[in-house]
Structure 1
Amino acid sequence: MLNQYMDQIETLGLNLFFALIFFFIGMAIHDVLKQGKVPKFGRYIVWLVLFLGCAGFVAKGIIQMTWEGSGVG
């Protein structure tokens, strides 16, 4: 039974791994910004870039799921 769901388990594990990596990157950036006493505008720019990176990753996953579901990919 486990062999039937191996692809789904691998996909879920990989997505959770990437989410964990994004979390750790966010925590590291937060620490650097805090210790470097970066102005508020600079912090907003850094978080915007980080958010756009995460949003791109999520959009890629949604597009990939949609295409695979419809038989394109």
Structure 2
Amino acid sequence: MLNQYMEQIESIGLNLFFAAIFFFIGMAINDVLKQGKVPKFGRYVVWGVLFLGCAGFVTKGIIQVSWEGSGIG
């Protein structure tokens, strides 16, 4: 039974791993911004770039699921 779902389990595990990595990157960036006393505009730029990276990852996942559901991938 487990062998049937191994690819799906790996995919979910990889997605959770990337979510954890994005969380830890965010915590590290937050710490660096606080210790460096970065102005508000700089903080907005940094968080905007980080958000766009996460949004791209989520968009990739949604496209992948929709393609696999329609039989393309």
Task: Give the TM-score category using the shorter length.
Answer: over 0.9
- Aligned residue in 2 for 1:67: 67
CA distance in 1, matches of 2:2, 2:72: 27
CA distance in 1, matches of 2:8, 2:59: 19
CA distance in 1, matches of 2:16, 2:72: 25
- How many equivalent residue pairs? 73
TM-score calculated relative to the size of structure 2: 0.98
* Percentage of pairs with the same residue: 85
CA distance in 1, matches of 2:56, 2:50: 10
CA distance in 2, matches of 1:50, 1:31: 14
Cα deviation, residue 4, structure 1: 1.0
The alignment yields a C-alpha RMSD, in angstroms, of: 0.5
CA distance in 2, matches of 1:29, 1:14: 22
Q: Is 2:20 aligned against 1:13?
A: no
- Would you identify which runs of 4 or more consecutive aligned residues in structure 1 move more than 3 Å? none
Please show how residues 23-42 of structure 1 align to structure 2 within 5 Å.
23-42=23-42
- Aligned residue in 2 for 1:3: 3
